[in-house]
Amino acid sequence: MPRYIAIRTDKNQRTFILRELEQGRLRQGWGSKPEHDLRLLRKRVHAGKRLSDEEARVWRNRRLLDTEPDGLEPGDVLLVPNLPEQGRWILVRVKEGAYDFAPVRLSEHQGPDYGHIVPVEPVRDPSGKIGIVDPNNKLVDARLRATVRNLSRMWSIDALGKAVDVLVEAIEKGLDTRRPQPKDEKAETFFEAIKKAAWQEIETKYHAAELEHLVHRVLACIYEGGRVEHWGGVGEKGADLIVYTRDPLGLEYKIGVQVKRFGGVHDDIHALRQIEQAKEHHRIDAGVIVTTAVETSDAFEEKRAELESTLGIDIRVITRDELIELVMKHSGTARIVDGRAIADLLRASPQSDTLQEHTPVTDRVYEEIERLVEVEGHPSSFGVWHQNRGGGSHLIHIEVSGAMTEATVRAVETRLRRLIPSATSERIEVNVAAATTTIKAVVQVPS
């Protein structure tokens, strides 16, 4: 395994240092006198002799010796900052061959120096030119930029070996490592990486119809002050979700939402037929199709435009990238919305004749129980429904997977009691069956 080391050279002698590198010699300063030969100093150190202050400063270069335990060895990769100019880097590999000592005089006005020599081979591009790295190139790991601020002569960067390998491979393939990445491009690349990670998380955590729950939460944040009802499944009549919102004059509008899992190009018009069905049965004022496809086909767009004209409503399509951006934009506010006390959410809920799913109340209860179930080590296989019966009376209905232990079910029951400490009365019934355990809580919340 090669080691990775950063090593500073004399920035005042860049032309000389670079010319020597072209010849396969890495030269280091603090080597002007014969007694500065690290091989001689090593013998003195191992003999237990005391070094002078000057010799001690020279001995700081000891890692240039291949005979030292942590000395340079063939195959090690060196990052040399500020070559061929200030702020740029070059990379070299240590070659076979031993350390040598041969000071040189660079001018008649200057004494000999730079006697320490390590055999190296610069990393070159396919044309044979020495590769040059701009620290702000798109291929450079930010941690490499940070470590180069180190003022030491020589230090290990083994922890960043993979980042160095990326640059070595790029140079040898002829990729551009010289050009700094523009700030706008850097930001765009950063956000694209975040979007990619967000999509992978969505793909992993929300399978098939589960995506409706995520879309429900996002829409609840977008239409703050309105409400979102879940209709997906049997009897949905064309709408997975229905958004109820009001305009500034207080007039209510209904938006029918279809959520589809697709890859590539969305050209299936079934979602359009469902929007048409939602218009007939739910009297929606607009339609939204949320698809995980990257884009829609021309044929689909033609059918969408035709249906808009026929129904006299807008039909909006949200594809994968926009869905990810909406999730990223509103995911933070979802917890704020759900952060209200459960009693307040119960009081604010509309009275209904049937159990409702995916309301602010059920979302809040779901979130609390989901955290509890995760702690208990079980998959979050459960559903939550709520009914405001009027007069402060509420029914919270929870169906939990029968695979959960009795202890976990009891923990869910206990958490439910603690959620509504202001209730004037409560009655919780637990019905344990083979496949599903049902928990029903009837609570009275004062107005």
Average pLDDT of every residue of the chain: 87
Find the range with the poorest average confidence among 20-34, 228-242, 273-287, 345-359.
228-242
pTM beyond 0.75: no
* 148-177 pLDDT tens trace: 988 888 999 999 999 999 999 999 999 999
pLDDT category of residue 364 using cuts at 50, 70 and 90: confident
pLDDT category of residue 228 using cuts at 50, 70 and 90: confident
What average pLDDT does range 91-101 have in this prediction? 94
Say if residue 431's pLDDT is above 90. Answer: no
Q: What is the per-residue pLDDT for 335? A: 43
pLDDT category of residue 428 using cuts at 50, 70 and 90: confident
* 274-311 pLDDT tens trace: 999 999 999 999 999 999 999 999 999 999 999 999 99
pLDDT category of residue 403 using cuts at 50, 70 and 90: low
pLDDT category of residue 435 using cuts at 50, 70 and 90: low
Find the range with the poorest average confidence among 14-23, 154-163, 414-423.
414-423
* 335-354 pLDDT tens trace: 444 445 788 888 888 999 99
Share of the chain above pLDDT 70, in %: 91
Say if residue 266's pLDDT is above 90. Answer: yes
C-alpha 257/C-alpha 331 separation (Å) is 19
Say if residue 253's pLDDT is above 80. Answer: yes
Find the range with the poorest average confidence among 117-121, 211-215, 281-285, 337-341.
337-341
pLDDT category of residue 375 using cuts at 50, 70 and 90: very low
The DSSP code for 52 is: P
What average pLDDT does range 79-106 have in this prediction? 94
State in Å, rounded, how far the first CA of the chain is from the last one: 71
Q: What is the per-residue pLDDT for 344? A: 82
